Structure 1
Amino acid sequence: MNATPPPGWYPDNAGDGQRYWDGGQWTEHTAPSGIEPPAGGPSLASGTPGDPGAGTSQQNWFLRHKVLSGVSTFVLLLVILGALGGEADDPAPAAADTSAQAAGESDSDTAAGTATETEDEVEAEPVDSDGDGVIDEEDFAPKDRKVQTKEDVDTDKDGVADFEDAFPKNAKYAKDADEDSVPDELDDFPKDARYSQDTDGDGVADSKDAFPKDPSRSKVTFAMENALAAAQDYLDFSAFSRQGLIDQLSSEYGSDFRLEDATWAVGQLKTDWKQQAVRAAKDYLDFSPFSRQGLIDQLSSPHGSQFTVGEATFAVNKIGL
């Protein structure tokens, strides 16, 4: 059977120092290491490091010193701020003086500007350079006493002021309604800037008229296109004069096109008729011998190739006959 230890101070397993055992359990009383606890009970002598009262006294001392330190710091801060504030307040009068000076200078400048403007207003008098009774500001030509308004300017003296005259330097014309640079008097389409000429007067502009000199027609028909194709085929096959090709196209023994269509078709060809005459002359010589004049006659005869005499002569000269 284990014996219970008697009351007393024993090493504290929970920390340094000793703890008091009352014979039945551990108490809250402790003693620091190096201090001899009282033999008679748990109380320690007052003022010793292990005395709870001593710890409380130390804590109160530190608390008092912390409060005093905080108050001292606050007072010191107020003193510093007061000193800085005093320095900042001192320049205020100087700033005020500067503002007043600036305001004075501004007033002086304003007064000077007003005086200058007043002088300018006094000096600005109406000017009439050409002495026509109209001041320059209102005079269209301030240096020409004969002209006061734009209506007075008529360069070509046609009775139409320049600002209304489409041709201010040409007294014959003045109007150009469609602004195509063609006077209305010469413009067959005075209100259409795209067109200006209609030679045959059929209402179709020459630039759109396939027959600008024939008022009976203005468009290329299908028959005309066929006549043109036939004319090209004939030239590929044999030599023809202009008139001979028209006859071939319009003859009832040929293509039997209308004479108008045949004539139009031949007119569209870009053919050198002199070279056609040379070609025809060679064909004649390949078929039969000819004298120089006989060949010219054959080429130019109404019953022959119908070239002009000039074309026939050119051909004979070209082949060296």
Structure 2
Amino acid sequence: MSTPAGWYPQNDGQQRYWDGQQWTEHFAPGATEAALPMASAQKPARSWYVRKRVLIPAGIVALAIFATALGGGGDEPTQPVSASSPTTSAVKAAEPAAATVSPAPTTKAAAAVPKPAPKPAAPKAPTLTSGQRNAMRAAENYLELMGMSKAGLIRQLSSPAGDGYSKADATYAANHVKVDWNAEAVEAAKNYMEMMPMSRSGLIQQLSSSAGDQFTKAQATHAADAVL
């Protein structure tokens, strides 16, 4: 039967650990005889557990240093990738693609600016006959000398005792001459009133009579109201 593992007293008073097969290099201070049984029962297991806790981490550190020495060189150490931090590409892949908003198509193209309509050509001046042109000049002369109605002017221009123009040329001149017939009636009324005193009704009768000046009844009334 082999001697069980444990701490055993030595000649120098210290205790040495027997592992069951041989003496180890571990020494401990001497203990009293009362503490020897407990030490022999508890110390080996506790010391071995402590040794494992010290030796295993030390071995891991030594292996790490050795591996670093072998794998090291001029290259810079590779930065470890954190497992808890997703890569940028992974984050982008996880994110939903943003919807591309296309501009709403216009309902219709902008209306072309319409070109301004060409201005109408100025009407050509009517080509007058010599009779129309001369009748126009004669009408203007009569209206500058005295107050005359339209009918009285046509009669004067077309009368054989007057200017002798054709009825068409005389009418054309009376229609196109620039004149205010009411103003002509007032001028004729003033001439009558300067020559003789006349009543209102007599003045209107003279101005509107076919044997007189041939103004319209409205023009004669307007003239009488203006001078009386």
TM superposition score normalised by structure 1? 0.35
Which structure: larger Rg? Answer: 2
TM superposition score normalised by structure 2? 0.47
